[in-house]
Chains A and B, each alone.
Chain A
């Protein structure tokens, strides 16, 4: 499989107390477990991103339990109210146990 590369969009600056929008995307096939191999006719086993978590300064702010019905290259957009500068950490968990992560800094106020 192609290299898994998360892409995240977080504003660089925000006012204290502002609700910001975060967009995340990761390239992943999200093999549903319902598709058949065209040559052998056998079902291709499920392999998806089953969990997505966003943390801000170490505290969880948003997460999603994901099922096969989420499209390939899963995209999540959500909001966070920021009151201080800090770092966002985004974590994706694969069915095979591997995790992918990305970090973004934001400056609040000043």
Chain B
């Protein structure tokens, strides 16, 4: 009996140790921060960016072509309505897609010296899907805009 109890205690301790180890791994994973992991969806990526806060529509205007013949390079630009002063400015803008193998496209960081929170770039789209831009304001609120892009020839893999 005694022996059995002892072994049980050890195994339980081991189990607890394992549990603690696993938690540590999870925490370490979180400290890596907004890096978008594999298997994440656009929703997860937005949630990681906003910290669960709801992104209201408005303020952000995203512009994309309605139809992209070549998914390898689709021009995307956005402009966020903001005075861009030290007290009230756009901190960053996350751009994600909901139909690519991985949702993340890019995160843009602005400063008071930006003058205007707008940027444009060219992105890859694997198929017809939504492009979503979420802006983080200096007061902690979030705004978003969404555009559907029809893609004729996909631009991922090969």
Contacts and interface: CB of A to CB of B under 8 A. Distances in A.
Q: A and B from one assembly?
A: yes
Determine the main DSSP class of A at the interface with B: strand
A100 interface: no
Interface residues of B, number: 35
> Looking at B77, B100, B114, B121, which has the most chain A CB atoms within 10 Å of its CB?
B121
A94 to B, nearest CB: 16
A65 B36 CA distance: 11
Contacts of A75: 120-122
A25 to B, nearest CB: 10
Given A65-B106, A77-B120, A78-B118, A32 B111 contact: no
Contacts of A64: 106-109, 119, 121
A70 B157 contact: no
Contacts of B110: 62
Interface of A: 19-20, 32, 34-36, 56, 59-72, 74-81
